[in-house]
Structure 1
Amino acid sequence: MRGIHFSIFYILILFCPFISLFADTTDEEILKLGEEAIAHYEQGDYERAILKFNTILLARPNDSQALKLRQLAGDELMMKMLAEGGELSRVARALLLYAEKAPIRQEKDLATIKRLVVQAATGSLFARNEAITLLQTQVGERAVPEMLPYLASKTQERERINIILAASKMGRAAVVPLTEALNTEDIYLKQQIVILLGHMGDGRCVADLKALTENPQTLPEVKQYARESLRKLTNKTSIALPAAKELFYRKGIRYYQEHPKYMPIHFANWLDWRWEKNQLVYKEIPHFAYNEIMAEHAAHEALDIDPTFKKGWGLLAQVYYAQHTEITAIEEAAKDRDLELPTDELNQFLEEKKVSDKAKSLSRAFGYKLLIQSLKMASRNGRPEVTREILNEIGNQGSKQNVINGSLIQALKSKDKRIRYAAAEAIVKINPPGRFRDADTAIKVLVEALSESDARVILVVEDDDETRNRLINIIRNMNMVAFGASTGSEGLQRAKAFPPEDLVIVSSQLDDMATSYFVNSMREDYRTKKIPVMIICPEGQEAKHKELYKEIDVVKGVVTEPFAPEKTKLSIREHLVDSNTDYKGKSREIARRAAAALAFIPAGNRVFNVRIAQEALADAIRTRHDSIREPAIHALKKFGDANSTDALRETLYNNSSSIHIRTLTASALGHIYNRQNIKVPSEDVDKLMLILGEKLPAQDDLSFDEKVDSFHNAIYTLLGQSEMSAGDKRKIFFQHRIHKEIGVVQEKGEDSTEDQDQEQSSEDREQTDEGPDSIWKDDSLSDDYDSEDDRDSEDDYDSEDDYDSEDDSEEDDSEEDDYEEDDYEEDDYEEDDYEEDDYEEDDSDLDSDDDRD
């Protein structure tokens, strides 16, 4: 129960600044709805009472209106509603929270903060209490630097005690800056902070206190106070606690996972505290980067203690990848959903983007082994986008690995398809030297990715585990990504994380908050206000919830439980139309990466059974975007299987395909024809001739002519790599002869030339069909030119008479050699024999046999 109350308070603090901004319902309208709700409740018509109370909540009453409602109902009725349990209790609790919490003003003026600290230290009892209240509610941790001089004073005992009291009242808000101030060299100040932290009951300082007890340079009196504080905080002795490096790791994980107890209690305060130049300083940071920055600090603290600590390295790697992926996700979300960051956050975002780019680059230095360590940890931490990035880098760095790590196999079998896809890509990039058990699984996963058509993400917020899991399975069967949250507060936290979901489906009966309050929270945050919401309601209550949410634009419909799978799928798809995300582009990118991964597999590999992917690659070439078709063509070319030629031929002959794709296709076909010794049918030769004669539409692209030339060259190469009949070969070279006839033929125009070409083609075909004595008996030019045995075959000649016997051939060769030898002897002369008279005398006999020789 305490956790539930904290969660609601957490959410309330976050959204209170927005309540009055969105509340546009008049007091009279709110009170009228309140009177109707109370009347229904007193009559025992709880269903209508709940409907009216939820209507009030969806109107987003401000604190003044909620207070009037509370007074209208009276304390007795409100307490009775709270005791009812169920939806009535949740509604009453939400109304009370609205009534009791006005928007909190955040004080940031340094002069005002200093004045309040002085007042808390030196003022009268009334003045001190007033100052402490304001420090607690409006200032928070910004007051701590002004408090430190009083804590360090050995002479101002009264003032020091007053500040200790003020800091204790501030509680959680003061823990982070006080913990950072433990780095002071002032021993007395360090003692006071250690004692104070022990009384605050906050676990965020446990690792730092344990580190003091382990540090040999820590003075004994400080160690003693640290041990006592640790006992108060943990109910354990210092020696019974894990090592400080392990505690820092656990602290970092809590921050990384955005545990509610580790987030700031004043939500306008997203501050990074550092002890620099013997003073406590802070920097305002974007709220979305807070958890990663704090986790990074914790990881470095652990590694300062032990540079070989694998968990510390694994955490640091996750943090760096998280920083990069979150910035990227914010950019995508801003583009997809037309989000506008507040001005101050926009400036922080631009600064943080530079840092995230550096983090991405630096992450490459972790190396393969540490990346594997971080992968093991990431798979348990619920950040699939981080796991995916780590897998990508593992694939890039793992090419020299001899085995596939077990963590990769686990990722390959993940329920999250995005992780499966990334794992499969990494495995084929590693390309181990030998077969392993799940090699075919990797190819099958890439085939799954190649057919990806919907990359949208849906969040299901439902208390009941069985109901939540059933709906998640239905969504996953729709080839979408689904996540689950078991409470409303967890669901809100997940929805506001980046990347945001495309749809949130929330139960109408949450345990920790009213669903209407959940919906309001979605509507009031810039990160979630454009995410469509659907309500899960029991069968038979569909009309009631449609009526309740009919004026709420983000609520698109309801899903009834128990779920009818087909009806549920239809309803979800209908309302996903309102999602503005570029899911088609994301799906296309997934398929492109899968095709590129398949194309990465070396030709003739003995590890992966690429035949599994051939049909999917062929289908991609026929139907998908050029960005997918290009790597798919490269993959089929590399595999070189004759069964893939149909899809390639269809693409080549389709003049609606781009020149670039057709050029690649021609190259792939030529490679496969040559490798498999495939004979090209005459009808295909005719089609290729037509393609070469196509008049392609002119474009403004300056390189268009070069693209056309490359396309034609690819077709000529294809023809040269293929086996053809002599008639087809002759037809090609006749039609594309370099020097054509002139005169009359030219005057007849292109039609006459085409007629002659057709006549010649007919003659060529007749010659091809002459029978067994044809000079092209095998209908194959490649046999005549490529094989030495074929060149010596009798079948390549008209009759045996035309073929000289081996003896004759040797005799001829001998005579020729003798002739050449005599010829050289006769022509040889020395320089001394050369005279001008001889030259003149022989000039008239230049045509003699000797001179010709």
Structure 2
Amino acid sequence: MDWHLRLNRLAAVGRALTVALLVVVVAPLPGQTSVAMAEELTDDMVGQSERAWQVWSAATAALDRDKVEDAGKLLDELAALKLSDLRLALMADRTGSLRLEQGVADKRLGDGAARLVKQIENGRRQRKLAEDGWHFAAIGRFKYADANLKALVDSTPDPVALLELARYNPARTQTLIRLVANADVGPAARLVLTILGEGEQLLRTDPAEIEVNIERLGGPPRVVYEATNRLKDSGEYAVPHLLAYLQDGRKRDLHAAILQLLPMLGRNALNPMVMALRMKDDVTREVVARALGTIGYAQAAPYLAVLAGDPKTSSAARQAAGESLNAVNRTGTAEPGTLFRMLADAYYAGAESLQPDERSETGNVWYFDEADQVLRYVPVPRAIFTDIMAMRCAEEALKINRTDAAAIALWIGANFRREGKLGMDVESEAPSSMAERDGTRPSDYPRSIYFARAAGPLYNHMALARAIQDKEPSVALGTIAALSTTAGPASLVGQEDYKQALVRALEFPNRLVRVKAALALGRALPPSGFAGAQNVVPALAEALGQSSRRFAVIVDPDDQTRNRFQAVLRAMGFECYSDPGLYSALEQARKAGAPAVDAVVVASDSRAPEFTAAIEELRRRPETAAVPILVIRKKAQTSPIEDVVRRYPGVEQILPEVLALDAQDQIDKSVSQKLADAAGSLGMRPLDRQTSLSLALQAADVLRLIAVSRSGVFEVHRAEGALVAALEQPNELLRVRSAAALALVDTPSAQRALAESALSEKNSKTLRIAVFGSLAESGRHFGGKLDARLVEDLVKVAADGQDLDIRTAASQALGAMNLTDNQVSEIIRAQSRG
């Protein structure tokens, strides 16, 4: 079908698709002269409302002719538009505002005009702050530049109006970019750049601005060129409007330009375009399908495959979809369900071509409303965009093939990872306020653990296997939690390949995952051995031994900064290994016997190796692949840090200035929060003291459970050293639980450790009584294994101890020893009064 025929068909449709079109009709304004009517927007106006400019022009013209009443009405209308102070100032500076100010001063104009004058005055102050800031920055007077730019930021200027002011001189933005790392003005420069970025985002997403540019596609070549570039800049946001214009028969003079423009929008426009294939209008679907083929990205393939096989659509649309599918599909299959699952996998893997617009901190999830035949989008945090899209594509795959196991497992994993990146506890089923950041889910949406438990062991094993492959702590923790409550011993371990993931999790680079896997396997008490069973008890022992210990590596060539961060982390409870070079610091940790690395701090000016190579190395090594990393942002470093933070989850930047905060608790809080943020982006909780203690308590209980069960699979005695060491931990409950587990270890050294703890007068009465009870249990099971000295001490306490409760507990332990040399006579003689 040629383009002329297609245009005729498009013109016949004539209904809106996506959004209510904003048709700007500029009616003659009261008192408006031919000169005012001729006032038009100029190229240097950025985000300027045409209506506002027309009203302002007419008002100033009325004041010039002394038509005060007409001017007053126009100024009231302008005030009702609620323009920003800086926008009003920019307009006033184009025409002058002396007549307005005089009219307010002599009371000929009312309150509305007076408020506008105040806004203009404030906007001019903002303009002066900005221009002075740029001027002083350009000539190297950085302290003056800093003062002006900070005051500008504090005044909360209109981002789009400030963008117009910046574009008056292209060097202004470049000056700020160059000064980002400057010690004096850098922070203020970053803040102003952030505001300008907000202006860019507001400009390219503004529906009115988009439709003005669409209208300009019918203008002369220079205007068309500018409008085309701006619509390309708007990308996905322009798609609903462009398609609406295509469906409007009154806009047929613009259709040819729109048809030419659609493929030029490129990758950023793909998501709304593929959803638009679901509309009922076959003519527009045909146009969109051909545009997708021209753009050429494979992510359109499953959507095109669905359209190509839809018997309800027109043959022309099906043909266009088939031709475009052949152009973009390089998979060797045209089956829609398979293509959707493959796309879901690519989203889950974070393929670069599927990332949201790099200019935005959010990603847009597009939907097509079948009832209203409209496109809508929901912005979500950038970090979870690909997870949500992976879930959506997996859902489409399951609609086509409900038994697709890989799609189910992928959906479960993506859901856990989505929650983890939002800072939610993936093991919890309780509602979380963090969920509100994902606008694609209703308020009563169940937690990820709900779906994982319902899915059963097979799919959780599959999702866990992917988590281990990708080193994803949140997915690993979530699936292990689901397996712990839904899988019995036969479903948890076995010879089948898919059941090996939980055992492999015992070697995961994150300590929390290793311990959780060991707890799950230990509680299951498998009746028969399995590959990797020998690693369960050592992992539980690790949890016991590290209940209050955390380990950090610090790399910074500057001795002072490195030592100060080391002092901060030590105050937070970390054992630190620091060096100017990464490899040396890691080697220190290894030689010291650190069982894990819980945090890494790397300076951005590291040279052994260079900073980006250091991060790559840390993420390559198994022991640091899934640990939080803080980057100390040095003054000379700029964009490389941003690139690294965006590319690698679990990396956060921190300024060395944090060390200059007034109070130590503020410093600790700042560093702790950054570590928590880094851990959160990995989908895990920071392994703080409370979490470590909880794991240690659970490990002690599971070790006792294994011992009570007389498991032939797990060897509790391999944790004896950790249990004995735990008797010296500061937490009394952990000491009691460890003693209870140690009571079932059949060795003289275990019984000796219990006796020494129970006999120690340094311990509290409660602890001693509890440990005497464990010593008695050990004696009942294994008989007396104490040497003569300890037996003598035990008899002495039982016979002569001053506290009756302790004497009673000691006597029970003594009796349980069942010693051949009956020591009870000592107790009887001790109590005799003749």
* TM-score, scaled relative to structure 2: 0.59
Output the amino acid matched with 1:687.
V
Distance 1:249 1:471 in 2: 43
Distance 1:406 1:729 in 2: 55
**Offset from partner CA, 1:740-785 (integer Å, 9 cap, x none):** xxxxxxxxxxxxxxxxx95628x8xxxxxxxxxxxxxxxxxxxxxx
CA RMSD of aligned residues (A): 5.5
CA contact 1:151–1:160 (8 Å) conserved in 2: yes
Distance 1:217 1:692 in 2: 93
- Counterpart position of 2:409: 314
1:443-458 maps to which residues of 2 (within 5 A)? 443-452=537-546, 454-455=549-550
SS at match of 1:272: strand
1:230-629 maps to which residues of 2 (within 5 A)? 230-234=325-329, 236=330, 240-241=332-333, 243-265=335-357, 266-276=359-369, 277=371, 278-328=373-423, 348=437, 358-401=447-490, 403=494, 405-452=499-546, 454-455=549-550, 478=594, 479-480=596-597, 488=612, 501-504=628-631, 515-519=637-641, 531-532=653-654, 553=657, 583-603=688-708, 604-623=710-729, 625-626=731-732, 628-629=734-735
- Counterpart position of 2:208: 112
- Deviation for aligned residue 1:368: 0.9
Structure 2 CA distance for partners of 1:441 and 1:714, relative to 1, 3 Å = same
Count the aligned residue pairs: 597
CA contact 2:697–2:737 (8 Å) conserved in 1: yes
Distance 2:713 2:539 in 1: 15
CA contact 1:144–1:174 (8 Å) conserved in 2: yes
Structure 2 CA distance for partners of 1:367 and 1:193, relative to 1, 3 Å = same
CA contact 2:239–2:272 (8 Å) conserved in 1: yes
SS at match of 2:389: helix
- Counterpart position of 1:193: 288
Output the amino acid matched with 1:187.
D
Distance 2:732 2:311 in 1: 64
- Counterpart position of 2:82: none
- Deviation for aligned residue 1:608: 1.1
**Offset from partner CA, 1:483-536 (integer Å, 9 cap, x none):** 9999959969x99xx99824348999xxxxx954334778999x9997458xxx
- Deviation for aligned residue 1:106: 2.2
Q: Is structure 2 residue 263 aligned with structure 1 residue 171?
A: no
- Deviation for aligned residue 1:364: 1.2
Distance 2:337 2:610 in 1: 32
- Deviation for aligned residue 1:63: 9.6
SS at match of 2:200: coil
- Deviation for aligned residue 1:193: 1.7
Structure 2 CA distance for partners of 1:176 and 1:120, relative to 1, 3 Å = farther
Output the amino acid matched with 1:246.
T
Structure 2 CA distance for partners of 1:382 and 1:499, relative to 1, 3 Å = closer
Distance 1:303 1:644 in 2: 55
State which of 67, 87, 106 in structure 1 corresponds to 2:171.
67
Output the amino acid matched with 2:545.
S
Structure 2 CA distance for partners of 1:578 and 1:297, relative to 1, 3 Å = closer
- Deviation for aligned residue 1:297: 0.6
Output the amino acid matched with 1:424.
A
Structure 2 CA distance for partners of 1:715 and 1:244, relative to 1, 3 Å = farther
Structure 2 CA distance for partners of 1:690 and 1:436, relative to 1, 3 Å = farther
Output the amino acid matched with 1:648.
L
CA contact 1:392–1:425 (8 Å) conserved in 2: no
**Offset from partner CA, 1:581-601 (integer Å, 9 cap, x none):** 674445444444433442342
- Counterpart position of 1:181: 276
Structure 2 CA distance for partners of 1:613 and 1:202, relative to 1, 3 Å = same
Output the amino acid matched with 1:448.
E
Structure 2 CA distance for partners of 1:459 and 1:622, relative to 1, 3 Å = closer
- Deviation for aligned residue 1:613: 0.9
SS at match of 1:270: strand
Structure 2 CA distance for partners of 1:576 and 1:618, relative to 1, 3 Å = farther
Distance 1:420 1:606 in 2: 22
Distance 2:770 2:445 in 1: 38
- Counterpart position of 1:804: none
- Deviation for aligned residue 1:611: 1.2
Output the amino acid matched with 2:796.
D
- Deviation for aligned residue 1:644: 1.6
- Deviation for aligned residue 1:189: 2.6
- Deviation for aligned residue 1:127: 5.0
Output the amino acid matched with 1:171.
G
Output the amino acid matched with 2:317.
V
SS at match of 1:601: helix
- Deviation for aligned residue 1:71: 10
CA contact 1:444–1:612 (8 Å) conserved in 2: yes
Structure 2 CA distance for partners of 1:386 and 1:192, relative to 1, 3 Å = same
Gaps of 5+ in 1: 1-20, 35-61, 73-77, 79-94, 333-343, 462-466, 509-513, 534-551, 557-574, 695-708, 735-756, 764-853
Gaps of 5+ in 2: 1-128, 143-165, 179-189, 428-432, 557-580, 603-608, 620-624, 661-669, 677-686
Distance 2:317 2:584 in 1: 55
Distance 1:519 1:257 in 2: 22
Distance 2:765 2:286 in 1: 76
- Deviation for aligned residue 1:178: 1.6
Output the amino acid matched with 1:244.
P
Distance 1:123 1:690 in 2: 107
SS at match of 1:106: helix
State which of 780, 784, 803 in structure 2 corresponds to 1:678.
784
- Deviation for aligned residue 1:318: 0.7
Distance 1:105 1:199 in 2: 28
Distance 2:471 2:650 in 1: 20
Distance 2:379 2:354 in 1: 17
- Counterpart position of 1:637: 743
CA contact 2:631–2:652 (8 Å) conserved in 1: no
Distance 1:299 1:599 in 2: 43
Distance 1:222 1:69 in 2: 46
- Return 602-611 or 474-483, whichever deviates more: 474-483
1:200-211 maps to which residues of 2 (within 5 A)? 200-211=295-306
- Deviation for aligned residue 1:650: 3.3
**Offset from partner CA, 1:584-638 (integer Å, 9 cap, x none):** 4454444444334423425211111211111211111223534543442332234
Structure 2 CA distance for partners of 1:279 and 1:633, relative to 1, 3 Å = farther
Distance 1:146 1:692 in 2: 89
Output the amino acid matched with 2:729.
T
Structure 2 CA distance for partners of 1:661 and 1:202, relative to 1, 3 Å = farther
**Offset from partner CA, 1:132-157 (integer Å, 9 cap, x none):** 444443x4433333333334457854
Output the amino acid matched with 2:797.
K
Structure 2 CA distance for partners of 1:760 and 1:407, relative to 1, 3 Å = same
Structure 2 CA distance for partners of 1:321 and 1:660, relative to 1, 3 Å = farther
- Counterpart position of 2:797: 687
- Counterpart position of 1:335: none
Distance 1:472 1:221 in 2: 63
Q: Is structure 2 residue 239 aligned with structure 1 residue 161?
A: no
* TM-score, scaled relative to structure 1: 0.57
